Amino acid sequence: MNASSSQSHCLLPETEQKARRETVLHDILAAALEIGELEDGILLRFPGTDAWFRKLADFVSFERACCPFLAFEVTPEPDFGTITLTVRDRSTATDFLNNAIRQLKASVAASKG
């Protein structure tokens, strides 16, 4: 394990974190068909289209660079079924994903009025 992968915080500068958080909440997480909590992360389901597969691949590529402590798994179901994105927090020193879930739920509740 290299030094950056042992860190349990986002590597983006503070000034970029808020904009990225809003992008993730509105463009990715709010579009999830299902959100489930795992013991060590979250599970999200998305439509099984090629466009969503590419969008999730781009998301994972970006997030791996700024959050090297997270583990990602993208699983497309057979026959163009849903795509599952699993994000796990390998660090025991952070509640990073729990904070993301709370922010998502608050954002979704606020958008529904």
Return the DSSP state at 92: S
User: pTM of the predicted model, to two decimals?
Assistant: 0.74
Annotated domain spans of the chain: 15-111
Q: Is 25 left (phi over 0), alpha (psi -120 to 50) or beta?
A: alpha
- Whether 25 shows a pLDDT value over 80: the answer reads no
pLDDT above 70 covers a percentage of the chain that reads: 70
SS3 of 81, please?
coil
Task: Please give the helix or strand (H or E) that residue 75 lies within, else none.
Answer: strand 70-76
Q: Which CATH architecture has domain 15-111?
A: Roll (3.10)
Rounded to an integer, the average pLDDT of 79-105 is: 75
Q: Give which of 102, 112, 79 is closest to 25, Cα–Cα.
A: 102
Q: What is the pLDDT of residue 94?
A: 47
Q: What is the pLDDT of residue 30?
A: 79
Predicted confidence (pLDDT) at residue 52 exceeds the cutoff of 90: yes
What does the pLDDT read at residue 4? 41
